Amino acid sequence: MNIPESDWKKLRELKPVALDRLCARILAECVGIASNDSETAHQRYLQMYRVLHERNRELARVFDDIRRSTALNVLAGMYRLELVEENEFSRFTDETRALVLRRVN
């Protein structure tokens, strides 16, 4: 199901903001891992590798295939990962918001 053109434009504007939020979150997680002096450098490296591998899969699921036909899934993924603030989400049409919330719940 395609979303209205106005919502598609909003999603395209939101994408770089949400992507930056996710990347900042991932980097903060990596800083926490790297600064954990209770583990060896090798243990921290392995943990960071696993985290980056998993987060990259999350990032790809949400951001790698943005088309109008996948827009609802993309927006639901952003919402599920808490990358969309309430004031941003409220700018979408009622129908789009309802469809996204059904996919999230």
C-alpha to C-alpha distance for 83 and 78, rounded to whole angstroms: 5
State the Cα–Cα distance between residues 99 and 102, nearest whole angstrom: 5
The pLDDT score that the predictor gives to residue 5 is 95
Distance CA 83, CA 22 (A): 7
Taking the CB of residue 92, how many other CB atoms lie within 10 A of it? 21
Quick: pLDDT tens for 16-65: 999 999 999 999 999 999 999 999 999 999 999 999 999 999 999 999 98
